[in-house]
Amino acid sequence: MLAPLDNQVIFKIAFTDMDVFTGFVKDIIGIDIVVGKIETEKKFEPRIGNIDFSYDIFAESVDHRVIIEIQKAELDYHFDRFLHYHYMAVAELQRKAADYKIEQTVYTIVILTAPYTIHTKTGLPIKKEILISDSDPRDLEDKIVPIYGHKLIFLNPNHKNAQTPKNYRDWLDLVYESIHNREKYQVNLQNTAIKKAVDLIEYEKLSPEKIREMKEEAGKRATLAIYEDKLEKAEQELLKEKQDKQKAEQELLKEKQDKQKAEQELLKEKQDKQKAEQELLKEKQDKQKAEQELLKEKQRIYALAKKLKESGELTSEIIELTGLSKEELGEVLNEPM
């Protein structure tokens, strides 16, 4: 039975072995490498930047031309973290170099032991066994221009692809089978590095100390999983609370806008009513003014008619001059006509 490679203790037992390490690098990167030592929990001193971090497995070739970092992750929210780790190794080389030019090439290999849960920036889910981020630029014809050579490689055996090349397939199968098919595992034992890894992580061959460390690591992971589950639920509740608050604020804003709109409509209605009343008042005032002017004109004509009568003018002449009818003239002069 295999011990699971998603356990940090077992992962380090396998990949700190020189034969396994160099075979893995040969298959995944395609280079033959000779290293003096393989380090775990590697840290740079003094620390680079404000983030304290370490590499699970770290090795530099004896000719100082290649640096290999191997990281294990269960959850893909570590994507940004490993990008940081990758470029901090490059930054460390820059710091030690006499100028900006560095001769070493940095390869960071991340092995994810659980299915992806994140999505691309376009919203599409990631379902890939292998992802490779290349630091070399491309020209306008989309051809790679080899300037830097640094690479960040993600391996995830949980999204199996029939087209995956055999050099990757052997290691992806080893990781997957050690976790999900530990007793009846099917791996390529013809690959000598794979066979060596299998021998190293055979449960029955582990020392009592390593089994204890493995169980302690599993306990920590279980506790962390509980904590992360609680944290995720708390974050979801907080997000829901935030969304509910935003919804309530939007509804309140809409209610306020509706109220303002109703008040504006009411104000407009009031203004329209006031305008109508003002127009009606003006119309009434104009009518009163016209009536007053008409009355004044009548009084003037009546006075003229009386004056003409007193001066001895004939009735027919008065009617013609004033425009009064015979009956109206009679009423004005208080005489029968």
Domain positions in the chain are: 8-206
Distance of CA 322 to the CA centre of its chain: 93
Q: How many other CB atoms sit within 10 Å of the CB of residue 111?
A: 24
pLDDT, mean over the chain:
86
The beta strands (E) that lie in the chain are given as 35-42, 55-61, 66-73, 105-112, 130-134, 151-155
What's the CA dihedral at 270, 271, 273, 276 to 10 degrees? Answer: 180
Q: Dig out the tokens for 167 from the structure.
A: 């050099």
Using a cut of 0.95, tell me whether the model's pTM lies above it.
no
Q: 242 or 123: which carries more pLDDT confidence?
A: 242
Give the three-class secondary structure for 100. Answer: coil
pLDDT digits (tens, 9 = 90+) for 68-92: 999 888 765 556 777 877 888 788 7
**In the beta sheet, which residues pair with residue 71?**
110
Confidence at residue 306, expressed as pLDDT on a 0 to 100 scale: 85
**In the beta sheet, which residues pair with residue 57?**
40, 70
Show Cβ contacts of residue 104 under 8 Å, excluding neighbours closer than 6 positions: 60, 64, 65, 66, 67, 93
pLDDT digits (tens, 9 = 90+) for 202-239: 999 999 999 999 998 888 877 766 766 777 788 888 88
User: Where does the pLDDT of residue 37 fall: very low under 50, low under 70, confident under 90, or very high at 90 and above?
Assistant: very high
Q: Is the peptide bond before 46 cis (omega within 30 degrees of 0)?
A: yes
Between the alpha carbon of residue 296 and those of residues 181, 231, 330, the distances in Å are 118, 94, 19
Q: In what order do the strands lie in the sheet with 66-73?
A: 35-42, 55-61, 66-73, 105-112, 151-155, 130-134
